[in-house]
Amino acid sequence: MSEHENRPQHGYPYFPPPAPATQTPTPAPRRRNGRFTALIASTAVAAALVGGVGGAALVGLEGSHSTGTTASTASGQSVSATTNTDVSSVAEKVLPSVVQVNVTTRQGKAIGSGIILSPDGKILTNAHVVSGATAVTIALSDGTKYQAGVVGADPKADIAVLQASGASGLTAATLGDSSRLKVGDQVVAIGSPGGLQNTVTSGIVSALNRKLSDIGTGEPNPYNQTANRATDSPSYTAIQTDAAINQGNSGGPLVTMTGQVIGINSALYNPSSTSTGSVGIGFAIPINDAKTIINQIENG
């Protein structure tokens, strides 16, 4: 989700190396006045939230692994070059459904990403992206901006739903089925890492069902400076990907090569507490889990 508010230990979760010494992943901070802070409370997890304001951010088709070089789409967006030239087609299809989430808190400003759920401006993002928000503005891929309010949020699941004021005719994303994902499937991540809106990266599904609460067990809690219980860690099991995810990506989509959203980019692993960049280990909330929370928020 680099793009989080200036709040101590909040933002994109990053996970520490598994051995020999156990390290804890911490949420990736959202971007605030040039500084990043962690935005989600968790005990055993040392993953860094990928959202901007509160974090970095999202049906599984098989594909090839990213080459790590960059290319440019016809619209000028930056895209990681892969052996599959369809990445540009995916970007063209999905970019109109991705927004940048600009948040103001008492500590300053932060940036994250979001996914358009309906033409009238319902937006899906990470709870850590809008944590402590006093004002929220969303920016469409074409630069159009709307004020937005938080309909509801589930910090434990790290899911939040926003509503843009006066919006209409927006391009809603197509939500896929994350249960059909397989390790090795090619995926594309879209968001605003470092505040760079409309950034596209690609890679593969590296692993499934990663329990963030099991990572770095026993290490200091990177999400909450006071809590130190396993129950404070994120409750979801994540999709692991090597698609580059950085602070500001939080709340953005992880999609298949058909453009279906199968995850919400939420965390990144970082072996160093002083480093905030992607090391090829990112995590996304499965969209099937998100659908359940969205329904609870809207009808709860």
Query: Which is it for the CA torsion 7, 28, 291, 121, positive or negative?
Result: positive
Tokens coding 274? 């002083």
Among 158, 185, 232, 289, which one carries the catalytic annotation? 158
Among 250, 266, 278, 289, which one carries the catalytic annotation? 250
**Nearest residue to 31 (alpha-carbon basis) of 276, 242, 279, 278:** 276
Distance CA 227, CA 205 (A): 32
Distance CA 131, CA 197 (A): 20
Q: How is 30-97 classified by DSSP, letter by letter?
A: EEETTEEE-----SS--PEE-BTTBT-----EE-PPEEEEEEE-TT--EEEEES-TTHHHHHHHHGGG
Among 128, 131, 178, 266, which one carries the catalytic annotation? 128
Distance CA 60, CA 168 (A): 30
Helix (H) or strand (E) holding 297: helix 287-299
Cα within 13 Å of Cα(295), Cβ side: 6
In degrees to the nearest 10, what's the CA dihedral of 132, 101, 239, 223? -20
Active-site residue flag, 158: yes
DSSP letter, residue 182? -
Other C-beta atoms closer than 10 Å to the C-beta of 134 total 9
Residues with a catalytic annotation lie at 128, 158, 250
